[in-house]
């Protein structure tokens, strides 16, 4: 089954404790992206990657890191999480030639206390 | 840079009644437009998209949307809603030559029996 998977689905952590949210897709998509969803703000892009070893900042990159060492994986790293990073996070992917339509993972709900 | 405004944050509607969700966008160049739906505790899935051609586009689950270039709008409609249409709906835009998908703030639809 074609899908985007994220782990973990739920995470409660404390301020300053480094964490990684994994994202993997099995559709051989070049483009991958991370979003955060906050009430009333919709989805805002954190980082995106056009292909392996090619990443760029989205609208809200502060406090986040990403890497793209393999085509299928695009982990999101929070080196020192803070309470304002409490949010619902989505990973998405698409083929580079397919404009706009993205395939979303199920989401990761992160709470930083 | 493009932006998207969804004019209603919440829309309560009775079962079998029609619903319209409003979306306006701003961009100085040609754009592609999308509506995504997010059911409770799930990721986003594509409802419909406008890339070119007919300004009336039909999507899944009986939804349709009309692209109005002069009014920079892309309103979503369904003539008769079901309880299962209870969800949050997101309008999104991408510039024709761009890589960034920008989302509106979302509209929560609550269908009442």
Measured between CA atoms, how close is A49 to chain B, in angstroms?
A: 10
Nearest to A45 by CA among A30, A33, A29: A33
Segment B9-60, tens digit of pLDDT: 999 999 999 999 999 999 888 899 999 999 988 889 999 999 988 999 999 9
In a 10 Å sphere around its CB, with 0-12 CB exposed, 13-18 middle and 19+ buried, how is residue A67 labelled?
A: middle
Chain B touched by A23 (CB under 8 Å): no
Q: Is B43 in contact with A48 (Cβ distance < 8 A)?
A: no
Answer whether the bond into residue A8 is a cis peptide, omega within 30°: yes
- Residue A21: the pLDDT is 98
Chain A touched by B40 (CB under 8 Å): no
The percent helix, strand, coil of chain A (3-state, each to 5) is 5, 50, 45
Which residue on chain B is closest to A39 by alpha carbon? Answer: B105
């Amino acid at each position: 089954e074609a899908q985007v998977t994220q782990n973990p689905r739920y995470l409660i952590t404390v301020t300053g404790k480094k964490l990684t949210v994994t994202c993997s897709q099995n559709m051989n998509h070049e483009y991958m992206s991370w979003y955060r969803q906050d009430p009333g703000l919709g989805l805002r892009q954190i980082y995106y990657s056009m292909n392996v070893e090619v990443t760029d900042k989205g609208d809200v990159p502060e406090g986040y890191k990403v890497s793209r060492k393999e085509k299928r994986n695009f982990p999101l790293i929070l080196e020192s999480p803070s309470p304002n990073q409490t949010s619902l996070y989505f990973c998405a992917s698409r083929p580079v030639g397919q404009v706009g339509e993205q395939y979303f993972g199920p989401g990761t709900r992160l709470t930083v206390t | 840079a493009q932006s998207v405004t969804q004019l209603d944050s919440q829309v309560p509607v009775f079962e079998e009644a029609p619903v319209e969700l409003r979306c306006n966008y701003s961009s100085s160049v040609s754009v592609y437009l999308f509506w995504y739906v997010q059911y409770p505790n799930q990721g986003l899935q594509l409802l419909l998209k406008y890339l070119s051609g007919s300004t009336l586009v039909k999507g899944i689950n009986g939804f349709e949307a009309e692209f109005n270039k002069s009014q920079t709008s892309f309103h979503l409609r369904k003539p008769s809603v079901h309880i299962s249409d209870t969800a949050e709906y997101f309008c999104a835009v991408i510039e024709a030559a761009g890589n960034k998908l920008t989302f509106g703030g979302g509209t929560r639809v609550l269908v009442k029996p």
